[in-house]
Each structure stands twice: as structure tokens, then as C-alpha cells.
Amino acid sequence: MSVVIWSLRGEEPSFRLPTSELTDIPLIYGGERSLYELAFAAAELGFDVELRGGIARDVFQQLAAASAGPAPRTNLRARRPRRDDIIVLPEGIGVPNPYASALMSPARVVVMLLAPPGLFGPGLHDGWAQPDPTTVPVDAVGRPEQFRPLAALGCELWTHSPGIARDCIRAGIDCRELGSGTPVPFPDLVPKTHDIAVIAANRWAKLARAVAAKVNASCLTIPQQDNGLLPLALGRARILVWPSRIEGDSRIQREARAMGTVPVALSTNRYATDLDSEHGAVLVDSLDAMPRAIERLLESPAELDALSTVAVRTAR
């Protein structure tokens, strides 16, 4: 039996599993890294794991160096799925071919929900529509009618997000919550040089810049970082401006907290894990409320330091 993790990149051959190739990809999405971590976790449990698609060489090598067990197999040719395969696809592939190829095979098919259905992946309830995450109403994703078509097609549903698992089960669909984690340790803490940070190469950049422009504070604008370098950049700021309206587990806010950088974030993302005051974050209900919340924190250094300490302790 092989566990086949189908990543987000690479060729999409009809009725075959894609090739597997380690390649130089400067920046991968957090969800992609979660798929790699799932592959390494399954391999460490003793499964034969194939990680397929275009795979970022540097991230794969980091995970391999930090893992105690064997690495997933890569550099594989395309092949037809077998009856004893478990094919794991993310929900965020924007074209139907991979799903059709898996579902028309004899394999066991799993959809890994890295984000709520109806946000990034196929909107099966609405003609494969994919909304703009910066404008979609936050209550328009993760709805029962978006979970049910995946199960009706015969897919098992897995997720790393407790919130996604909760909403899936409320829709009457079984969902296996796997949790999340990485064998790669976070970098050491670095000195703070700026009050706030805005990530430029991110879907929330426009919203974050608008908030930062209303705050009288030194702002670190972080350009695109190569894989693994974002935590170090985040660590230089005291506060992360994080207007994440709705998404999945939200890896970036955890990376910020691990570096002692306090996220000031929107309360609308019901799927983020550990994004609350008990884990060193500050939540507000609207974009308009973010500037004042940031200024209040900067005016209260003892409170900010306490949140930073909690953030580091709970994120690492």
C-alpha cells in the first residue's frame, strides 16, 4: 500500500498520478508545506509514501534533515493509481482533472482540507467558482452545501484545522482531524527593530498597508522571502498587522508568534488555530478597529511584552 500525497504543482496527466520532481521553487504556500509535513509524518509512521508533483527541493531537504524516520519517495514517473493506493489531494487545486483522475481510479481518495471549501478550491456547489478571498463574505465559505458534494463523490475528508473539522461534522460529514506540526525548529529570537510589520508578498498586503498607514509607528515592509526565511524577518517587528479575513490554519501568524511578534488580527477567521489572547494575539472585529488596537498596544509596553512572551511559549 502506498500513501500518495498530490501536491499543488506539476503536470496533470489524465488518469495517472503526476511525476515527482525536486525542483528549485523560491516560495511555496503554507498549505503546500503542510502537505509535505503530512507526507513526512506518514513516512515516519511506517507507510510507503510517494510525494508527487513539483516539490521544493530546499523545503524537502529541511524536513528530511529534521525528521527521525525515512523520507517520502520522490523523483517518480507518472503511473496509474492502484487499488491499494491512498491518494491525498488538497482542496485547493483549481482545475478538475486531478480530482477526476483520482475518483475514476480504484484507489481510496482523500481530500485534505487545507482551507474551508468554497474559498480556494473547487466550488462544486457553484459551477467550480472560486471567489476572491479579500472580498468574499466570510460566512459564504465552509457552508454545509460546500462540504457535502466532496463526500457525495466518494472522497474521505481530512484536515489539519479543528475549525474546519468542526464545521464539516456539523454538516453531517465525517472528517478526520490530523492536527499540524513540523519537525523543523523555529530560528532563535532576534532583536526588535520596528514597531509593526506588513508582509508585501501576501494576499492580505493591500489591507495590511491600509491599516499601517493609519498608525504612527515604524513599519517594516517585508518583501518576498525565500522558503524558511519569513520567521526571521517577522521577528524584527513587535506587532504583525494581520488582516486575514478568512483562510485555513494560518501558518504565518504562528510563525510570527514563535518569534515573539504579536499578531493584531481580525476575529473573522474562525479557522485559524490558536489565534487568540491565550496564545499571544490580539483580535479585533473590523479593519477600522485595527489601527487603534495597534496604537494602544504600543502605548502599553508591559502588556505587549507579556503577550510576546505568551506567543513564543505557545507557538514553539
Per-residue DSSP letter, 17: B
Q: What span, in angstroms and rounded, lies between the C-alpha atoms of 37 and 28?
A: 13
> Average of pLDDT values for 168-180?
95
72 or 100: whose pLDDT is higher? 72
Instruction: Count CA atoms closer than 13 A to 245's CA, side-chain side.
Output: 19
What confidence tier does 128 reach under pLDDT thresholds 50, 70, 90? low
Does 126 have pLDDT greater than 80? no
Instruction: Check the CA dihedral 233-237-243-248 and report its sign.
Output: positive
Question: Which pLDDT does position 121 carry in this prediction?
Answer: 67
Q: What is the pTM of this model?
A: 0.92
Is residue 14's pLDDT more than 90? no
Q: Across 68-72, 217-221, 268-272, which has the greatest mean pLDDT?
A: 217-221
Q: What is the pLDDT of residue 281?
A: 98
Mean pLDDT within 29-46: 95
Q: At what angle do helices 57-66 and 30-44 cross, to 10 degrees?
A: 40
Q: Give the per-residue pLDDT at 127.
A: 64
Confidence of residue 125 (pLDDT cuts 50, 70, 90): low
Residue 159 clears pLDDT 90, i.e. is over it: yes
pLDDT at residue 109 in the model: 98
| Share of residues in the chain with pLDDT > 90 (%) | 80
- Residue 122, pLDDT > 70, answer no
Helices H / strands E in the chain, number of each:
10, 12
Task: Count CA atoms closer than 13 A to 218's CA, side-chain side.
Answer: 7
* φ, ψ of residue 3 in degrees (nearest 5): -95, 120
pLDDT at 132: 85
| Of 294, 236, 224, 283, residue with least CA distance to 260 | 236
Least confident of 45-54, 67-76, 113-122, 298-307: 113-122
- Rounded Cα distance, 22 and 169, in Å: 36
Strands 108-113 and 219-222: unpaired
**Higher pLDDT pick, 228 / 125:** 228
Q: How far apart are CA 79 and CA 17, in angstroms?
A: 5
Mean model confidence pLDDT for the chain:
93
In this prediction, residue 123 has a pLDDT band, given cuts at 50, 70 and 90, of low
- Sign, CA torsion 101/103/107/113: positive
Cβ neighbourhood burial of 70 (10 Å; 0-12, 13-18, 19+): middle
Strands 237-242 and 219-222: unpaired
- Kindly report which listed range (38-52, 90-104, 196-210) carries the lowest average pLDDT score: 90-104
Do 99 and 124 meet the contact criterion of CB atoms below 8 Å apart? no
pLDDT at 308: 99
Q: Out of 67-71, 237-241, 245-249, give the one with best mean pLDDT.
A: 237-241
Cα angle vertex 246, ends 243, 250, to 5°? 75
CB contact at 8 A, 73 and 51: yes
Does residue 149 have a pLDDT over 80?
Answer: yes
Q: Is 313 helix (H, G, I), strand (E, B) or coil?
A: helix
Query: For residue 261, what pLDDT is reported?
Result: 99
| Average pLDDT value for residue range 22-46 | 94
The answer for residues whose C-beta is within 8 angstroms of residue 128's C-beta and 6 or more apart is: 96, 122
